[in-house]
Amino acid sequence: DLGTTYSCVGIYKNGRVEIIPNDQGNRITPSYVAFTDDERLIGEAAKNQATVNPTQTLFDVKRLIGRRFKDSTVQKDIKLLPFRIVEKNGKPMISVSVKGEDKVMAPEEVSSMVLTKMKETAENYLGKEVKHAVITVPAYFNDAQRQSTKDAGTISGMNVLRIINEPTAAAIAYGLDKKTEKNILVYDLGGGTFDVSLLTIDNGVFEVVATNGDTHLGGEDFDQ
């Protein structure tokens, strides 16, 4: 689960989803990447130094992924985020200083660093290499946003088996696929996105009947 503010990783075994704690013992990891004079930080370490290194600490990158630079939401974010966002080939790119040199990175590249951290968390828990993954996205993500998320997974060194909707993933995690045929409404309010999806479940097969939401509305907006 590559989230706007937090990410988590789980494995499906013995008929259930088990969320894996990170090296700090937490089941969620901040979706933060930071660059200092001599190292790259990801997760808690990056978030903890954000106030003293604001222009070099990257977060809320999911709000940029798969979007065009001229999008009104991107223009709004540029005014709010402390790090520098520039345009390249019509896309929003992130400009940081890495070991004294200016570097421009795509949102997919930054997101891949968070996914690499989640991959390492799973590998440390399982004691073996993780090569394949399923990544969740908001149900209301468009094709470009979905493809960019998949690209981030590929950059992190994983074979992305499938991109699935977050409400569907939540239903699976809660074991709702084990129940008899039914209709369920899943409300998913995250740090940066909001989804409501109507799902039908029959013999363990999920079908999204309807979905609505806002890919730029979440807890971060409430905090503003």
In tens, the pLDDT along 6-46 reads 999 999 888 778 999 999 999 999 999 999 988 999 999 99
1 noted as active-site residue: yes
pLDDT tens digit sequence for 76-132: 999 999 999 999 999 999 999 988 889 999 999 999 999 999 999 999 999 999 999
188 noted as active-site residue: yes
Q: Which of 47, 60, 62, 91 is catalytic?
A: 62
Take residue 176 and report the two structure tokens written for it: 């709702």
> Residue 22: inside a domain, yes or no?
yes
Take residue 27 and report the two structure tokens written for it: 């089941």
The angle formed by the CA atoms of residues 28, 189 and 51, to the nearest 5 degrees, is: 50
Q: Which of 1, 60, 77, 195 is catalytic?
A: 1
177 noted as active-site residue: no
Q: Which of 77, 166, 195, 220 is catalytic?
A: 166
128 noted as active-site residue: no
Full residue range of the structural domain in which residue 38 is found:
6-223
Total of domains in the chain = 1
Q: What is the CATH number of the domain that holds 71?
A: 3.30.420.40
> Residue 1: inside a domain, yes or no?
no
Q: What is the pTM of this model?
A: 0.89
